[in-house]
Structure 1
Amino acid sequence: MLNVNLTGKVAVITGSSRGIGKGIALIYGQAGAKIVVSSRTLSACQEVVDEIEAAGGEAIAVACDIVSKPDCANLIDSARKAFGKIDILVCNAALNPWYGSLIDLPDETYDLCMNANVRSPLWLIQMVFPEMKERRDGSIILISSGAGMFGLETLGLYAITKAAEMQLGRNIAVEGGPFNVRANVIAPGLIDTDFAAPVKALPEMYNSIMSQIPLRRIGTVEEVAGAALFLVSDLGTFMNGHTMMCDGGTTIYKPG
């Protein structure tokens, strides 16, 4: 019978000490998976581990700066040392270091953002793919953004990296498909996290954004986490190379 039980699975989730990543860690833990919680701050990761364990789950905390390849390697090695394998990889951690025109973009800022948002997920995929291929089972999720679907005046660099993530997911899906290694992308719209707090604090901006969302509200972390659970569960096993827009309909709506 098809179900969403992840008992026996091991999931590595970057950027999972807060926000969407934490939401995914919690829901995977509730579904029975063993969780590797990761972000730059070990103490913040441990708080999520404590929450998972308090609910009866099993998890470990591993600090990782995603722009460091040795840190990424240590994350994967630590997961294997603790749990013996990796069944699920969720690349959620990302940076947005530039708010402005691409014309004025410094080279070093471009490198930082591309390294964090595109090269780091590729590193991690390269590290887990061989075992998934050999086992003929694995699921990879990239957390992109609805920003990757638009031209943006001030978030252009971030949008470029998020569009690249969508293509990365498609390519890995093609390479992994024959070995039952699936790769999918989730592209959230505005979600009720720390990132949305400045927008919510400005009524005029907030109301303008709401008018562009058919559901007339922002999303919740739990709604994105639910999509992530579907993609790695028995219910999502024919999903491969797909970018799932979790944005309340923003990308299909042109206000008239």
Structure 2
Amino acid sequence: MNKPVILITGALSGIGRAAAVAFAKKGAKVVVAGRRDEAGKALAEELRSFGSEAEFINADVRKEDDLRALVDETVAQFGRLDVAVNNAGTEGKVGPITDQTAETYAATFDTNVLGVILSMKHEVRVMQGQGSGTIINISSTYGHEGAAGASLYAGSKHAVEGITKSVALEVAKSGIRVNGVAPGPTDTGMLTRFTGIPENKAALVADVPLGRLGLPKELADAIVFLASDEASFITGHILNVDGGHTAN
């Protein structure tokens, strides 16, 4: 694909940022979305230093008007939308189920689940008109296994995987591929917040057969692969990038 147009939500840190850099280095046109203007503009400028055409658009994935505008502005700027990476997410409130409330549920699911649904609604709208496109949703190894103390996060990522597979079936004949990437423990700010203390992070690493945390770039490489023509016969798939964790 000649200079594809890429849209990434939650692009200002961690895996989303690494994916933006990876696509930019390949010459793609990249739109990065998030809620922090200064960081977003700085990232877009960095992507341009790699020779990419890049723009930042402020968007909150919990708000449909923001997502509609995000997709429409991307198309207005670059003429089409080839790849959407729905990466925006939150770890939510970590703790036992007895500590959870309707508010902590909404805070987690509005971003992790509703955000993916609304993003895909508008991405698919545009891609169906083109007759082509690729969507990649970011899940987690907790999207297909349990996690004591992270019931809301795990539940939200289970939902992401079910939605990913279902939409893949809906749009398969429209020329649109829909897949997911499920990171294992990855060296990001979210993991540090999630684990809280070094001992908890070390315990996660101990469960990884390769014996270390994943790097954001390694996740980005998997995202770039699924977006590429080399993955043209892959849809409805969740790719584990977890150092062998789910092989245990």
Provide TM-score, normalisation by structure 2.
0.94
The whole-number CA distance in structure 2 between the counterparts of 1:195 and 1:74 is 27
**2:224 matched residue in structure 1:** 229
RMSD (CA atoms): 1.6
**Structure 2 vs 1, CA of residues 200 and 220 (structure 1 numbering), >3 Å: closer, same or farther?**
farther
Q: Is residue 155 from structure 1 mapped to residue 168 from structure 2 by the alignment?
A: no
- Structure 1 96/196 Cα, relative in aligned 2: closer, same or farther at 3 Å? closer
CA contact (8 A) 2:61 2:118 kept: no
Alpha-carbon contact 1:149-1:251 (below 8 Å) kept: no
Give the CA deviation at 1:211: 2.2
> Which residue of the partner structure matches residue 108 of structure 1?
103
Whether the 8 Å CA contact 1:7–1:31 is kept in 2: the answer is no
Match of 1:189 among 164, 184, 189: 184
Deviates more, 1:215-224 or 1:66-75: 66-75
- How many angstroms apart in 1 are the aligned matches of 2:142 and 2:80? 33
**Residue ranges of structure 1 left out of the alignment (5+ in a row):** 1-5
* SS of the residue 1:90 aligns to: strand
1:42 to 29, 37, 50: 37
- Does the CA-based 8 Å contact 1:46-1:60 persist in structure 2? yes
Q: Which residue of 1 aligns with 2:23?
A: 28
| Structure 1 residue aligned with 2:237 | 242
* Residue matched to 1:146: 141
Q: CA deviation at 1:206?
A: 3.7
**Offset, 1:102:** 2.3
Amino acid aligned to 1:12: L
Q: Which residue of 1 aligns with 2:93?
A: 98
**Which of 159, 164, 176 is 2:159 aligned to?**
164
AA matched with 1:52: L
Q: What is the CA distance between 1:9 and its match in structure 2?
A: 1.2
Q: Return the alpha-carbon distance in structure 2 between the equivalents of residues 42 and 88 of structure 1.
A: 23
For 1:124, which of 113, 119, 122 is the aligned residue?
Answer: 119
Q: Where does structure 2 lack aligned partners over 5 or more consecutive residues?
A: none
Q: Which amino acid aligns with 2:185?
A: L
Q: Which stretch of the first structure deviates more once superposed, 193-202 or 25-34?
A: 193-202
Identity %: 32
Instruction: Name which of structure 1's ranges 42-51 and 204-213 shifts more when overlaid on structure 2.
Output: 204-213
What per-residue deviation string (whole Å, max 9, x for no partner) do you get for residues 205-226 of structure 1? Answer: 3433222111001100110000
Pick aligned residue for 1:207 from 199, 202, 214: 202
Between 190-199 and 135-144, the greater mean CA deviation after superposition: 190-199
Q: Deviations over 1:146-182 (max 9, x none)?
A: 1222222211101000011001110111011111200
User: For 1:246 and 1:240, how far apart are their aligned partners in 2?
Assistant: 16
Partner of 1:3 in structure 2?
Answer: none
Structure 1 residues 108 and 206, CA gap change in structure 2 (3 angstroms): closer
Go from structure 1 to structure 2 and tell me whether the alpha carbon gap of 1:200 and 1:117 turns closer, same or farther (over 3 Å shift): closer
Inter-partner Cα distance in structure 1 for 2:119 and 2:196: 34
SS at match of 2:226: helix
Structure 2 residue 71 is the aligned partner of structure 1 residue 76: yes
Deviates more, 1:209-218 or 1:102-111: 102-111
